[in-house]
Amino acid sequence: MRYEIKNIKIPIEELKDDLAQYICHNLKIKLDEISAFNITSKSIDARKSHQDEINIIFSVVFNYSKDIKKGKTKWTIRKEDEIANVSSQIQSKERKFSDKAPIIVGFGPAGIFAALKLAEYGLNPIVLERGKDVDARTVDINKFWQDRNLDEDSNVQFGEGGAGAFSDGKLTTRVKDYTCKEILRKFVDAGAPEEIMYLNKPHVGTDKLRGVIKNMRNQIIDLGGQVLFNSCVTDILIEKGQVVGVEVNNKENYFTNQLILATGHSARDTYEMIIKRDISVDAKGFAIGLRIEHDQKYLNKIQYGKYYDHPKLKAADYQLAYRDDVSKRGVYSFCMCPGGLVVASSSEKGSVVTNGMSYYARNLTNANSALVVNINPQDFNNDPLEGIAFQRKYEKFAFEIGGKNYNAPVQLVGDFLKGKVSTHTSSIKPSYKPGTTPTDLAQVLPEYVSSSIRNALPYFDKKIKGFADYETVLTGVETRTSSPMRIVRNKETKESINVKGLFPVGEGAGYAGGIMSAAIDGIKCAYLIAASV
Q: Are both 123 and 141 inside the same structural domain?
A: yes
Domain end among 455, 478, 501: 478
Give, in order, the Cα–Cα distances in Å from 284 to each of 277, 430, 481, 486. Answer: 19, 32, 12, 6
pLDDT band at 289 (very low <50, low <70, confident <90, very high): very high
Residue 90 lies in a domain: no
- Predicted confidence (pLDDT) at residue 58 exceeds the cutoff of 50: yes
For range 78-96, the mean pLDDT: 48
Q: Are both 384 and 415 inside the same structural domain?
A: yes
Q: Are both 252 and 401 inside the same structural domain?
A: no
- Predicted confidence (pLDDT) at residue 82 exceeds the cutoff of 70: no
Residue-range definition of the domain harbouring residue 68: 2-79
Residue 114 lies in a domain: yes
Amino acid at 58: F
Domain end among 47, 79, 111: 79
Rounded to 5 degrees, φ, ψ at 32 are -75, 0
For range 54-81, the mean pLDDT: 89
- Give the strand order in the sheet containing 366-375: 321-323, 330-337, 366-375, 286-295, 473-478, 408-412, 436-438
pLDDT band at 79 (very low <50, low <70, confident <90, very high): confident
Going by C-alpha positions, the residue among 316, 283, 319, 314 that lies closest to residue 298 is: 316
> Is 253 in a helix, a strand, or coil?
strand
Residue 440 lies in a domain: yes
pLDDT at 99: 57
Q: Are both 368 and 445 inside the same structural domain?
A: yes
pLDDT band at 86 (very low <50, low <70, confident <90, very high): very low
Residue 119 lies in a domain: yes
- Predicted confidence (pLDDT) at residue 68 exceeds the cutoff of 80: yes
Q: Are both 265 and 196 inside the same structural domain?
A: yes
Residue 84 lies in a domain: no
Residue 513 lies in a domain: yes
Q: Are both 455 and 491 inside the same structural domain?
A: no
Residue 450 lies in a domain: yes
Q: Tell me the whole-structure pTM to 2 decimals.
A: 0.90
For range 410-432, the mean pLDDT: 93
Helix, strand, coil % over all residues of the chain, rounded to 5 = 30, 25, 45
Q: Residue 197 sits in a domain of what CATH number? A: 3.50.50.60
- Return d(Cα 296, Cα 302) in angstroms, integer: 10
pLDDT band at 96 (very low <50, low <70, confident <90, very high): very low
Residue 93 lies in a domain: no
pLDDT at 94: 40
CB 109 within 8 A of CB 162: yes
Q: Residue 31 sits in a domain of what CATH number? A: 3.30.70.2700
Give buried/exposed letters for 20-29 (b at 16+ CB in 10 A, else e): eebbbebbeb
- Strands 485-487 and 281-283 turn out to be antiparallel
Q: Are both 293 and 413 inside the same structural domain?
A: yes
Q: What is the pLDDT of residues 326-369, one digit of tens each?
A: 999 999 999 999 999 999 999 999 999 999 999 999 999 999 99
pLDDT at 502: 98
Domain end among 437, 455, 478: 478
Q: Are both 437 and 290 inside the same structural domain?
A: yes
Question: Which stretch of DSSP H or E encloses residue 434?
Answer: none
For range 231-246, the mean pLDDT: 97
Q: Are both 328 and 455 inside the same structural domain?
A: yes
Q: Are both 233 and 136 inside the same structural domain?
A: yes
Q: Are both 203 and 294 inside the same structural domain?
A: no
Of 70-79, 167-176, 177-186, 289-298, which range is least confident? Answer: 167-176
Positive or negative torsion for Cα 143, 144, 147, 151: positive
Q: Are both 278 and 147 inside the same structural domain?
A: yes
- The tally of domains found in the chain comes to 3
